[in-house]
Amino acid sequence: MGPARHLALLPEVKAERITWPVPFADGLPMLQELRGRRVVVLASGNPFWFGAGRVIAQRFGRGEWCALPGPSSFSLAAARLGWPLEQVLCLGLHAAPLERLRPALAPGLRALVLLRDGQAVASLAAYLTGEGFGESRLHVLEALGGPRERVRLEIAADYSLVDVQHPVAVACEIAGEGAVLGCASGRADAVFAHDGQITKRPVRALALSALAPRPGERLWDIGGGSGSIAVEWCLAHSGLCAISIEPRPERAANIRANAARFGLDRLELVDGAAPEALAGLPAPAAIFIGGGLSGSLLEALVPLKGVRLVAHAVTLESEALLATWAGRLGGSLMRIELAHAEPLGARRGWVPVRPIVQWQVVL
């Protein structure tokens, strides 16, 4: 059982041949119906590196299958180009958005990207050009390791290939003047869609430091606003996910736009107000309250034992609420006071921004 292109490579055999359908998910029930028979599934390279192995293994018990991997597309591409694989970003974007590349885009980056078809290669070139990296060199690698193997070089801004065949990988050497995002939390406010309701860059960095994301964890971002906290939480590690809760439709739209800009399908949006909107959500490891702070919300969160909670307050009333709850549950309070230098006559002076109180506690 396998894709038509794999079956076509087989010599004459007596075994029954079953073509794996498109979309891929439609083949899984067909495979399960063959339970009890001796079945070989053909897949390219290493099926457990952005391949079919994980999905198939989840459907069958460990004793029902064994895998015989070959060199992955990444290994074959690196061998063709002489790239040290441990220094290369490897991404499988068969069914994932090209925006997954965005946080890593910087001159000098080398990336190996697996794509679904030839049109996706053209889309990748257009995407890089639109982000200001049109000078990037794209090595288009088709059917690596097979009789149809072909390797061609294109510049993203001048991409002109119209006959690229699946399976295809693209080795990218990023170049250009596009905006580069830092690796640390506290990225520029300008990279987020927002209506002014955004946790500003230095305060966001302090919030992420207090939230202390760890691989495999989930965040509840309550009163998401622009979703900048949830976005930066997810960007901290590929194993992190977040749920942003936001009642205002226009701000919810900004959260969706920001999640899409960075290709974050790990960021889920819940339209609604807390605490009511929290019912039935999967448990978090950490919670950030950037808006909608209230006594009833805190009461609803108290039963979540062991969860790290970070809450911000900007009004006297919300400050008093945090002080009261800190006295009840403990934790630490920090007052954040910032000022920016702005023109003052012929010189410059400090203009303070509204202070923010941060409460950090483990429930």
Same domain, 151 and 282: no
pTM: 0.87
Same domain, 57 and 153: no
User: For residue 137, what is the domain's CATH number?
Assistant: 3.30.950.10
Same domain, 239 and 350: yes
Residue 180 placed within a domain: no
Residue 242 placed within a domain: yes
pLDDT of 120:
96
What is the arrangement of strands in the sheet containing 267-271, beginning at the earlier edge strand?
267-271, 241-246, 218-222, 286-289, 308-313, 356-362, 332-336
Interval 273-300 mean pLDDT:
95
Residue 222 placed within a domain: yes
Interval 350-360 mean pLDDT:
95
CA distance linking residue 78 with residue 84, whole number of Å: 7
Same domain, 34 and 85: no
Same domain, 253 and 334: yes
Residue 183 placed within a domain: no
Residue 142 placed within a domain: yes
Last residue of a domain, one of 141, 173, 205: 173
Write out pLDDT tens, residues 172-219. 999 999 999 989 999 999 999 999 889 999 999 999 999 999 999 999
Interval 279-307 mean pLDDT:
96
Q: What is the total count of domains within the chain?
A: 3
CA distance linking residue 187 with residue 333, whole number of Å: 24
Write out pLDDT tens, residues 133-177. 999 999 999 999 988 999 999 999 999 999 999 899 999 999 999
Same domain, 110 and 90: yes
Residue 184 placed within a domain: no
**Which residue range(s) make up the domain with 159?**
73-173
Same domain, 12 and 60: yes
Same domain, 33 and 82: no
Same domain, 255 and 355: yes
- For residue 261, name the pLDDT band (cuts at 50, 70, 90): very high
Same domain, 146 and 57: no
Residue 87 placed within a domain: yes
Same domain, 307 and 232: yes
With 90 as the cut, is the pLDDT of residue 351 above it? yes
Same domain, 325 and 193: yes
Last residue of a domain, one of 23, 47, 64: 64
CA distance linking residue 14 with residue 340, whole number of Å: 77
DSSP string of 190-213, one letter each residue: GGS--SS-S--HHHHHHHHHHH--
Residue 182 placed within a domain: no
With 90 as the cut, is the pLDDT of residue 34 above it? yes
With 90 as the cut, is the pLDDT of residue 95 above it? no
User: For residue 304, what is the domain's CATH number?
Assistant: 3.40.50.150
Residues 6+ apart with CB under 8 A from 102: 131, 181, 261, 262, 263
Last residue of a domain, one of 117, 148, 173: 173
With 90 as the cut, is the pLDDT of residue 76 above it? yes
Q: Smallest Cα–Cα separation from 322: which of 288, 358, 274?
A: 358
With 90 as the cut, is the pLDDT of residue 335 above it? yes
